[in-house]
């Protein structure tokens, strides 16, 4: 079977709210494989590399501070067209407008939270996935 890999991060809000299991279950129910998993509080250095494309944007510093605020669960996920498929499973960036049925739409709380508190990250292209998997797992 044609297979590819992506990096999924369960962000500090997801871990702190005890949603790790539910999020992993959705990934497995879709038929994807959890190849590797680790829990860590990321360093500023790793986050600077991970979010390099956003450096200089107004939300960059709050985003990095938020990601350093607690444990993150990093998952290497494999499956057929999993990069695009997980982005679809995660839903739109803002939980406010993310569709019902998606992780952000169903589990993302909207009570005036910041946009960065959107539970998950998923790589957005094969190039990003290769770069991010090397960063978080090698
Ligand atoms: P995504 O996580 O959907 O790939 P992204 O790569 O554009 O979104 O942005 C990375 C993260 O930065 C995103 O998950 C939440 C935060 N973010 C994006 N746009 C933002 C904005 N306009 N204000 C605040 N945070 C934002
Ligand atoms: Mg992104």
Q: Does 121 participate in catalysis according to the annotation?
A: yes
CATH number at residue 25: 3.30.70.141
- Whole-angstrom distance, CA of residue 117 vs CA of residue 124: 18
Residue 126, pLDDT score: 98
Residue 59 in marked binding region: yes
Q: Tell me: the pLDDT tens digits for 25-76?
A: 999 999 999 999 999 999 999 999 999 999 999 999 999 999 999 999 999 9
pLDDT in tens, 93-134: 999 999 999 999 999 987 666 788 999 999 999 999 999 999
**Does some domain include residue 105?**
no
Q: How many C-beta neighbours within 10 Å does residue 71 have?
A: 15
Length reported for the chain: 138
Shortest-distance Cα residue to atom 7 of ligand 1: 93
What whole-number distance in Å separates Cα of residue 79 and Cα of residue 86? 10
The pTM assigned to this predicted structure is 0.96
Q: Is 59 helix (H, G, I), strand (E, B) or coil?
A: coil
Looking at the DSSP bridge assignments, the partners of residue 38 are 74
Complex ipTM more than 0.90, yes or no:
yes
**CA atoms within a 13 Å half-sphere pointing along the CA-CB vector of 77:** 30
Tokens coding 20: 């790790």
pLDDT at residue 92 greater than cutoff 60: yes
**Dist CA 125 CA 123 (whole Å):** 6
pLDDT for residue 84: 98
Which of 121, 123, 129, 136 is flagged as catalytic?
121
H/E element holding 27? helix 20-29
Query: To test the ligand 1 pocket, which listed residue (55, 116, 127, 129) has its Cβ within 8 A of the most ligand atoms?
Result: 116
Number of domains in the chain: 1
* Range(s) of the domain holding residue 44: 4-87+125-137
List, chain by chain if needed, residues with CB within 6 Å of any ligand 1 atom.
59, 63, 93, 115-116, 118, 121, 124
In a domain, 60, yes or no: yes
């Amino acid at each position: 079977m044609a297979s590819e890999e992506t990096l999924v991060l369960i962000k500090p809000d997801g871990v702190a709210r005890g949603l790790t299991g539910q999020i992993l279950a959705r990934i497995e129910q879709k038929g994807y494989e959890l190849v590797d998993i680790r829990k860590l509080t990321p360093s500023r250095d790793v986050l600077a590399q991970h979010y390099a494309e956003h450096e200089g944007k107004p939300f960059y510093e709050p985003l990095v501070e938020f990601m350093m605020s607690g444990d993150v669960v990093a998952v290497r996920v494999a499956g057929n067209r999993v990069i695009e498929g997980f982005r679809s499973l995660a839903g739109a960036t803002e939980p406010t407008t993310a569709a019902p049925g998606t992780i952000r739409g169903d589990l993302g709380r909207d009570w005036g939270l910041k946009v960065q508190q959107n539970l998950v990250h998923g790589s957005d292209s094969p190039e990003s996935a290769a770069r991010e998997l090397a960063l978080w797992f090698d």
